[in-house]
Amino acid sequence: MVIIDEAHQAIAQTYKLVLDALVVPYEKTALLGLTATPGRTWADINTDAQLAKFFAQQKVTLEIPGYDNPIDYLVNQQYLAKVNYRSLFYETGIELTPQDLKRINTELDIPPYILNRLAADEQRNLRIILELEALAQHHQRIIVFNTSVEHARLIAAILRLRGFNADAVTGETPKSEREKLIHSFKDEQPQTKILCNYGVLTTGFDAPKTSAAVIARPTKSLVLYSQMVGRAIRGLKAGGNATAEIVTVVDSQLPGFGSVASAFHNWEDVWRKNP
């Protein structure tokens, strides 16, 4: 048997190459994929259908009498925290051209050049800073998902100037420094710590005591959104918290999400076998 975690990545070229080599030549080898989000995207049904086909359109999910989806059950059993989802609505100060809107609608996610323009919006950044300062009054570990490398550094620097313990971790952070900052964020010190990041803490990052997240990075990917939310919703039985707070910056003219419960139903159509 071959088991792959984060199985929504299974049809990516490098993963698929390895899985095919381990499974295809051997008639009796079974393949089991584990994931909280059984889809590749949110906007491209063909890619999602390829993932379902790769696993023979056989999906097993938790079905518990009295619960609409597994999240409600896991919250009730304290494996996941009870989450307060809030939206921070912002009237985007950048001018989006018809060409910009076309690219947003046709590409799988928000183009980086638009994310960079959002990162330079001073009023948007002020709203994020004020929200973080408010969260810091009630949470000891807060994670921020920024729109770019420079945005992560900027928000962390402003927070430090305002007296908060804040750091930034990105793909450009040297490995030794990254490990040091993450270790500090995970420690048991009671002081509030804020960790800003771009692109490195969405998958595989485990800091169960994190109880608040600010998602300042708009995305069309329900998978990515779910991964970001997942960093802050560990329940008491998983070493986390009874409650958690997720604040999502919702920019006008840009798509977004409000919670992760939809992740368990969004891809149902591609997993159904044709009659």
CB 118 within 8 A of CB 92: yes
266 within 8 A of 69, measured Cβ to Cβ? no
CATH number of this structure's domain 70-262: 3.40.50.300
Kindly report the pTM of this predicted structure. 0.83
Q: Which residue has the higher pLDDT, 225 or 124?
A: 124
How far apart CA 250 and CA 227 sit, in angstroms, is: 17
Give the residue among 53, 45, 42, 69 at the shortest CA–CA distance from 11.
53
- What is the dihedral sign for C-alpha 183, 188, 194, 197? positive
Q: Is 197 helix (H, G, I), strand (E, B) or coil?
A: strand
Strongest mean pLDDT among 184-193, 202-211, 213-222: 184-193
List pLDDT tens digits, range 145-169. 999 999 999 999 999 999 999 999 9
Q: Where do the structural domains in the chain lie, given as residue ranges?
A: 2-63+265-271, 70-262
Q: Say yes or no to pLDDT of 241 above 60.
A: yes
